[in-house]
Amino acid sequence: MSLRATPFHARVAAANRGNDWLTRNGVTLARAYDDAHEEALAARFRCVLVDISWRWRVMLEGPHVMEFLGRLLTRDVSQLAPGQALKALWLADGGGMRGAGAIARYGKESFLLVSTAPDFDWIARAASRFDVGMREISEGGLALIGPHAGAILQAAGIDFTLEPLSLRKTFWRGLDVTLSRFGEQGGYEIWRDADDGLVVWDRLMRTGAPFGLQPAGITATDILDLEAGIARPIRDYAPARDGNAKTPTPKSLGLEILIDASHETFNGRAACLAAQETKTLVGLEIDCETPAPFTPLLHNGQIAGHTLTSLYSPALRRAIALAQIEISASQPGTQLVLTLSPCAETPAFRNITARVTDLPFVSAPISQP
């Protein structure tokens, strides 16, 4: 049995100095090429190249695709022009969140859905009710993140004028590639058939060398994600998998902005709008350098919530976390207490203070893929 690798694996393996790997969506990926914190900082000041082939991408097409997406997604896609995209959620009947992603109009009757976590059975089953065809796309994808991203593309000969949340097919020195900007801020993604993956990688790395372009691993992009204040499925929460699930609610993950209450037809609408949620998503600055993932949070001696992903932020030079917390304790500046487990440095439990902050943590012009 061979490794389930991305089209860039040969180059990734050569660059992975620590031989540090993980899998996401069943694909082998570099956790970090060298120093994850350095890679995260490079995305802020120069530019990094990230293998994002593990993203789940499906093409939905058919005469009734618009009707189908009107039922599936929490926002109306009927006004999208070809090439435009928006972010939306899809919910279970009970209003629980099954997934989040970007939906882009590809053609008249075709849409591309991109998400970090797959939900094949649910969407395929629903699509079949509308005679909408669904196929997974396995292209190689690379993201360029950082202030120099545009300049590198220009130097490489790609027309990089592209609005955020849009995509364009373009011809790049003999290769048909798809250029998209689905990341939260800035940043570009380039998609190309798996066979030509290495050509794309080599071209970008060569052109990017004078700009200080370096590859970045999953830990670095997780840091950027966290700094941008985005809760991700699987990493931060277990997406609803039962068809009638009521949890997690979009509100508890700070995603209620992706629900358009005036959009009348989406699945789970009534339950979602009626749901009473007492918790919300906030950012947490922890007063130490040790991250505290999935740890209870005390407010005035009472448990008021818990952290989700927590990582050291090299940009803020302290540990930060996403947290689900009672709305009453979610005001920015609210002081909370958490307990860190013993570690080699401090072999005892210790109480650390943390403060609620607005999201995103960092609004610098970086992008996350």
Partner 1 sequence: MSDCDALVIGGGVSGLTAAAYLARAGLRVIVAEARNKLGGACESMSFGEGFHAPLTQTLYALDPRVVKDLKLNLKFAVRDMALTGLRADGKHIVLSRDGAARSIAVHSQADAKAWKRFRRELFSLARDMRALWWDEGTFSVSRERLEPFRRLSAAAWLDGWFESDALKATLAFDATENGLSPFEPGSALALLWRASQEMCGLQGAVAALAGGPPSLVQALLEAAKVDIRTGANVSRILLANGAVAGVELASGETIAASIVISSASRRRTLNELLPTGAIGFARADSMDRANPKTGTAKVALALSALPMFAGVPSTARFILAERLESYAAAYSAARAGRLPDELIMEAVTPTAADSSLAPIGQHLLIASVRPVPLAMNDEMKAQLTAKVIAAFARHVPGMHVVASEVLTPAEISSRYGAQDLKMNVAQMLANWDERLRTPISSLMLCGESAISGRAGRIAAAMAIRDKT
Contacting positions for partner 1 (CB under 8 A): 67-68, 71-72, 92-94, 122, 125-126, 129-130, 242-244, 264-265, 267-268, 270
Sign of CA dihedral 324, 326, 332, 336: negative
Question: What is the spatial distance between Cα 41 and Cα 322, in angstroms, rounded to a whole number?
Answer: 20
Helices (H) and strands (E) counted in the chain, each on its own, are 8, 19
Nearest to 99 by CA among 250, 207, 223: 250
Distance of CA 220 to the CA centre of its chain: 13
Nearer to partner 1, 66 or 366 (CB): 66
The H-assigned helical ranges of the chain are 9-15, 36-45, 65-72, 120-129, 149-156, 197-208, 218-227, 269-274
Q: Name the residue nearer to partner 1 (CB basis): 90 or 106.
A: 90
Cβ burial of 103 (10 Å; 0-12, 13-18, 19+) is buried
Query: Would you state the torsion angle of the CA atoms of residues 126, 132, 138, 139, taken in this order, to the nearest 10 degrees?
Result: -130
CB-nearer residue toward partner 1: 4 or 129: 129
Residue 264 Cβ vs partner 1, minimum distance, rounded to whole Å: 7
Q: Which residue has the tokens 């976390």?
A: 321
Nearest to partner 1 of 7, 94 (CB atom) = 94
* Rounded least distance, CB 35 to partner 1, Å: 45
What is the closest distance, in whole angstroms, from the C-beta atom of residue 15 to partner 1 in the complex? 43
CB of 210 to partner 1, least distance (A): 51
The residue among 244 and 300 lying less far from partner 1, judged by its C-beta, is 244
The pair of structure tokens assigned to 343 is 């570690």
The residue among 120 and 171 lying less far from partner 1, judged by its C-beta, is 120
CB of 171 to partner 1, least distance (A): 39
Closest distance of CB 265 from partner 1, Å: 8
